[in-house]
Amino acid sequence: MLPVGMSPMDKIRLKAWITNGCMAASVEILQRPSAVSYPNTFVIMWKNPIVPNAKGPIAHICLDVHYEGGAIEAGKAIQALGGLWAQGINGAMKPEQDLTLKPLLIGKVPAVSPDPTTLAKFGGY
């Protein structure tokens, strides 16, 4: 369960990070088989992101990307963007519900679900 109640300042920091091109050292894609409402979900993980005005280092920022389909499978179109959260920041943002976030993030994730055969799993399953 994602924590709730991200502070307004943390939201501003993460939006600045997104606006500045998701500055990060590396990106990893993981399967998220524990997703119930959207079974074909993957996690995009930006490791060691450079977040403007962050209070300290942030290990990673993650975004759930829900693709069409009833199971983890490749080649399906994006259905919705799920929670966006960061290790070191309490709470999550919902890009699907924020008309300023979704257009910024949609071009930074695969348009179709990736091949899961070589991807590690994220979360409980």
Task: Determine what percent of the chain is predicted with pLDDT higher than 70.
Answer: 94
pTM over 0.85: yes
Q: How far apart are CA 104 and CA 123, in angstroms?
A: 25
Radius of gyration (Cα) for the chain, nearest Å? 14
Using one digit for the tens of pLDDT, what is the confidence trace for 39-69?
999 999 999 999 988 888 899 999 999 999 9
Q: 33: pLDDT confidence band, cut at 50, 70 and 90?
A: confident
| pLDDT, tens only, 2-31 | 445 688 899 999 999 998 888 887 999 999
